[in-house]
Amino acid sequence: MSTKRISKEFAEVSQTPIEGFLVTLPPNNSVHTWHVTLQPPASTTFYPGRFGIVLTLPTDYPFKPPVVKFVTRVYHPNITNDSLGNVCLAILKAENWKPSTKIASVLEALRNLLVEPQPDDPLEERIADEYRNDREAWEAKAKAAVTKYALEDPVFPAS
Amino acid sequence: MDGSSADRHLDANAGREVVYCHACAREWYRDERGLLCPRCGSDITEIVSPDNDPRDLNDDDDSEPESPPLRHRFPPRDRDHDHDHNHDHDSDPDEADIEEHLGGPNGFHFRRSVRGRPGMQHHDPNVDPVIERFLGMIQDFQPPRRPNAYEQRPEEGRFGGPHIHRATFTNGSGSASVTIFSGTGTGLFGPGPPGQERHGDPFQTFFSNVLRDVSPPVGGREAGGPTPGFARGLQEILNLFNPAHAIAGDAVYSQEALDQIITNLMEAHPQSNAAPPASNEALANLDRKPVDASMLEGESKTECTICIDDMKVGDPAAFLPCKHWFHEECVTLWLKEHNTCPVCRASIEKPEDRSGPNRHASPPPISTQSSDSDDLYGSGLNRTEPLPIPGAGPSRPPNQSQSRLNEAMRGLSSQQEQQDRESMRRIWGISGGGSGDRAEREQERDQRERERDRIWGAPSAYDTWRAQRRNSRNSLSPTSPRLSSFADYRVRPRQPSPPQSSRRERENSNASTSANPSQPTSSGPLSWLRERFSGGGSRDEANREER
């Protein structure tokens, strides 16, 4: 069931791409891992970065939420600023997840998170403080991180 | 003894303590030169004892500082004081127990025993620097103090008594126990020669190291690479000392800090916040029928939102109480994990299934946040209705840390409340009643109620009355604000940017929660009495309930 639904969703996303997203499957063609490239809207601090996201869909998807990790470094209150790139996204939490949520919604939520960080629910407390209290410094650092990490095409880990 | 060693080495058994410098391998008598190395000034020195001699007595080259200890050269004997300022790792596999003493300038002493399992390394070398820093930090907490007179035993501190802290860390491969003495001046060190106080403060550097580690990494977390587990644990402990966190031990001083702790707890068990599996009963009670044409016509939705396949006429479908319907097979798979609607998250456990007023709906209050179902409000109400009295009511769906947390809190507060009442009852029941204070009148009414129950032999009536009363009260003040603040808290990530309002709300709920238990507590003498009596309250309560 999960494979079927995932394939359908992948077909949908491929046919009608979500604005700002490029979705591919890894070389081994497993539908349970999606390689997603996100280009945030031009209005955001993170433009013109391109951010690699690995979306892992559990075998019991859609009964369990997808796991989302940034492979590109992001200077963001809700994304761990390390090589793990964990994301805090409310709809992916076990208590919030519902199987009617589609991956497209997850991707849109990710884009919204880049457009509007949620410093009140941070993964990176320090960046959240900075975002709240010294927005200019945060923007400068976020831009610097974009320049440093996000201008090249994202490199996805072989899986 | 080893006579040859007397030529080049001082005899440690001659009744005088010999000190050995690990930095330059010099030896001297302690009563002549004290503990600091007279040659290089290092304080990495060790008092030589027969069964722990760091010197290499075989080798004539005594400038080798890292020479292996030769403690089996001597028969074990009593050592009065084994001050082992030993910073290297003398892991002798034959010795099950290694103790290390580290001394600091301000009267702090640090003693570490490491016990390894057979075949295990005695301790992880990574641990040492951390412990040193920890020690340094502790030392920094104490105001600098001149070295004091010799103290044989640190427990007999002269300045306000000693403090002994012992902590044991276990990591599966053995355990290390850390004991820190703080007390008088130099304690174990004995009287140093004048002017021997350690120059500068070497531990200042340790402390700044600690501070550097405690503050968030500057260049992101990648900088240090993976921290060893133990070190990280210690770092987390040290984090608590950071005033910015307003946490000290198990006390918190700000709402933020409390929130953080709760968040941490919740995130530590990501699954446990989710709704529990549906009961078999609820599953069996679902409306089921094959999809027919009338269901599809007029419906905007013709696909099952779970498998996103089209619903075709004849497919077996299941209807949830919220009127959402799905492929029976699909929704069953989901309901076996969570008892909520896959679309609107309304609970499928029907209100009428609940056997009593105390039974509460199982899904966490979070569900009230989704508003895409008209039926939701009905179920939502059920969900925010007061939680049950702990221990009362039939079996509750397991695996909900949310409600467990609430319950625990409620348990605490109601227990407190009960105790309050018991003591009040005793006091005011005897003295004949209140004097106008609302709380007192309430207590008196309690008392009368109880008397009546006793007379009419209806303790169960009393119980229900009390239960109801508590419920009604709860729905007003104590924990339901807490509940809503939970919901509020967890909704937050979904809201665009509500910091002002949500914060205010939290403050409000805060105020009301803190206002709640103080109701009978308000006046000074009462609270004093309550404190006096609350200790025995619960037992009395138990006795009385037996009747």
In a domain, A84, yes or no: yes
Domain of residue A100, CATH code: 3.10.110.10
Q: What is the dihedral of CA B142, B143, B144, B145, to 10 degrees?
A: -90
What whole-number distance in Å separates Cα of residue B83 and Cα of residue B69? 15
Contacts of B410 (CB under 8 A, 6+ apart): B387, B389, B390, B474, B478, B479
- Is the preceding peptide bond at A48 cis, omega within 30 degrees of 0? yes
- Cα Rg of chain B, angstroms: 34
Task: Note whether B37 and B26 are within 8 A (CB).
Answer: yes
Closest B-chain CA to A12: B308
Both tokens assigned to B109: 């002493």
* SS3 annotation, B382-399: HHHCCCCCCCCCCCCCCC
What whole-number distance in Å separates Cα of residue A95 and Cα of residue A90? 9
In a domain, A65, yes or no: yes
Nearest CA of chain B to the CA of A27: how many Å?
Answer: 26
Average pLDDT over residues A128-134: 93
* B164 beta partners: B181
What pLDDT tens digit does each residue of chain B (547 aa) get? 444 444 467 777 777 788 888 888 888 888 888 888 888 888 888 888 777 777 766 544 444 444 444 444 444 444 444 444 444 444 444 444 455 555 545 545 555 555 545 444 445 566 667 777 777 776 666 555 444 444 444 444 344 444 555 555 555 455 555 555 444 443 344 344 444 444 445 555 555 555 555 444 444 444 444 445 556 666 666 665 555 555 556 677 777 778 888 877 776 665 566 778 888 888 888 888 888 877 777 666 578 888 888 888 888 888 888 888 888 888 888 888 888 888 888 888 865 444 434 444 444 444 334 344 444 343 334 443 344 444 443 444 444 445 555 555 655 555 555 665 555 555 554 444 444 455 556 666 666 666 555 555 444 444 444 444 444 444 343 433 444 444 444 444 444 444 444 444 444 444 444 444 444 444 455 656 565 555 444 444 444 444 4
Q: Which residues of A touch B275 (CB under 8 A)?
A: 95
Q: What is the pLDDT of residue B347?
A: 86
The per-residue b/e assignment along B490-525, b for 16 or more CB within 10 angstroms, e otherwise, is bbbbbbeebeeebeebbeebeebbeebbeebeeeee
Question: Helix B229-239 and helix B202-214: axis angle, to 10°?
Answer: 90
CB-based contact B343 A120, cutoff 8 Å: no
Is A88 assigned a catalytic role?
A: yes
- β strands within B331-468, DSSP E: none
Q: Which residues of B touch A96 (CB under 8 A)?
A: 366
CB-based contact A82 B222, cutoff 8 Å: yes
What whole-number distance in Å separates Cα of residue B142 and Cα of residue A26? 58
Query: What are the structural domain ranges in chain B?
Result: 8-56, 278-335
What whole-number distance in Å separates Cα of residue B447 and Cα of residue B225? 65
**Number of residue pairs across A and B with CB atoms under 8 Å?**
76
Q: What is the pLDDT of residue B155?
A: 41
What whole-number distance in Å separates Cα of residue B477 and Cα of residue B469? 12
Closest B-chain CA to A73: B220
Nearest CA of chain B to the CA of A22: how many Å?
Answer: 22
What whole-number distance in Å separates Cα of residue B231 and Cα of residue B210? 11
In a domain, A156, yes or no: no
Contacts of B355 (CB under 8 A, 6+ apart): B393, B394
- Cα Rg of chain A, angstroms: 15
Closest A-chain CA to B345: A98
Nearest CA of chain A to the CA of B216: how many Å?
Answer: 7
Query: How many other CB atoms sit within 10 Å of the CB of residue B426?
Result: 16
Classified as helix, coil or strand, B22 is: coil
Query: How many other CB atoms sit within 10 Å of the CB of residue B190?
Result: 18
Average pLDDT over residues A88-112: 90
Q: Between the CA of residue B327 and those of A63, B284, B475, what are the distances in Å?
A: 14, 15, 38
Q: Which residues of A touch B307 (CB under 8 A)?
A: 1, 4-5
Terminal-to-terminal C-alpha distance of chain B: 79
Q: Does B497 touch chain A (CB under 8 A)?
A: yes
CB-based contact A126 B492, cutoff 8 Å: no
Nearest to A95 among B221, B274, B494 (CB): B274
Number of domains within chain A: 1
In a domain, A154, yes or no: no
Q: Which residues of B touch A90 (CB under 8 A)?
A: 490, 493-494
- The CATH number, out of the four listed (2.20.28, 3.40.30, 2.160.20, 3.40.50), of the domain defined by the range B8-56: 2.20.28
Nearest CA of chain A to the CA of B334: how many Å?
Answer: 6
Nearest CA of chain B to the CA of A98: how many Å?
Answer: 5
CB-based contact B343 A100, cutoff 8 Å: yes
Of A46, A15, A25, A54, nearest to A157 by C-alpha is A54
Q: Tell me the CATH number for domain B278-335.
A: 3.30.40.10
Closest A-chain CA to B307: A5
Task: Note whether B311 and B327 are within 8 A (CB).
Answer: yes
Nearest to B270 among A73, A94, A100 (CB): A94
In a domain, A158, yes or no: no
What whole-number distance in Å separates Cα of residue B117 and Cα of residue B112? 16
Q: What is the pLDDT of residue B529?
A: 58
Closest A-chain CA to B275: A95
* B111 beta partners: B101, B179
Classified as helix, coil or strand, A158 is: coil
Q: Which among A6, A18, A74, A88 is annotated as catalytic?
A: A88
Nearest to A100 among B220, B306, B496 (CB): B306
**B471 or A47: which carries more pLDDT confidence?**
A47
Nearest CA of chain A to the CA of B453: how many Å?
Answer: 44
**B263 or A53: which carries more pLDDT confidence?**
A53
- Is the preceding peptide bond at A62 cis, omega within 30 degrees of 0? yes
What whole-number distance in Å separates Cα of residue B197 and Cα of residue B393? 68
In chain B, residues 309-328 whose CB comes closer than 8 Å to chain A: 309
For CA atoms B524, B526, B531, B532, give the dihedral sign. Answer: positive
In a domain, A91, yes or no: yes
Contacts of A36 (CB under 8 A, 6+ apart): A21, A22, A23, A24, A52, A53, A54, A55, A107
Of B127, B62, B75, nearest to B100 by C-alpha is B127
Q: What is the dihedral of CA A67, A72, A77, A81, to 10 degrees?
A: 100
Terminal-to-terminal C-alpha distance of chain A: 22
What whole-number distance in Å separates Cα of residue B509 and Cα of residue B485? 7
* Burial of B133: CB neighbours in 10 Å, binned 0-12, 13-18, 19+: buried
Q: Which residues of B touch A5 (CB under 8 A)?
A: 306-309
* Burial of B429: CB neighbours in 10 Å, binned 0-12, 13-18, 19+: middle
CB-based contact A100 B342, cutoff 8 Å: yes
Nearest to A1 among B307, B497, B498 (CB): B307
Contacts of B494 (CB under 8 A, 6+ apart): A90, A91, B369
CB-based contact B364 A120, cutoff 8 Å: no
Range of the domain at A140: 2-149
What whole-number distance in Å separates Cα of residue B225 and Cα of residue B513? 43
Q: What is the dihedral of CA B443, B444, B447, B453, to 10 degrees?
A: -110
Classified as helix, coil or strand, A42 is: coil
Both tokens assigned to A159: 């899986």
Closest A-chain CA to B497: A118
Task: Note whether B502 and B490 are within 8 A (CB).
Answer: no
What whole-number distance in Å separates Cα of residue B416 and Cα of residue B438? 19
CB-based contact B308 A116, cutoff 8 Å: no
Task: Identify from B306, B327, B335, B348 which residue to disrupt to test chain A contact, counting A C-beta atoms within 10 A and taking the largest count.
Answer: B306
Both tokens assigned to B412: 């605490």
Of B186, B111, B95, nearest to B142 by C-alpha is B186
What whole-number distance in Å separates Cα of residue B18 and Cα of residue B62? 15
Interface residues on A facing B, Cβ-Cβ cutoff 8 A = 1, 4-5, 8-9, 62-63, 73, 80-83, 88-91, 93-100, 102, 116, 118-121, 125-126
On the question of pLDDT at A149 being above 80, the answer is: yes
Q: What is the pLDDT of residue B130?
A: 73
Nearest CA of chain B to the CA of A26: how many Å?
Answer: 23
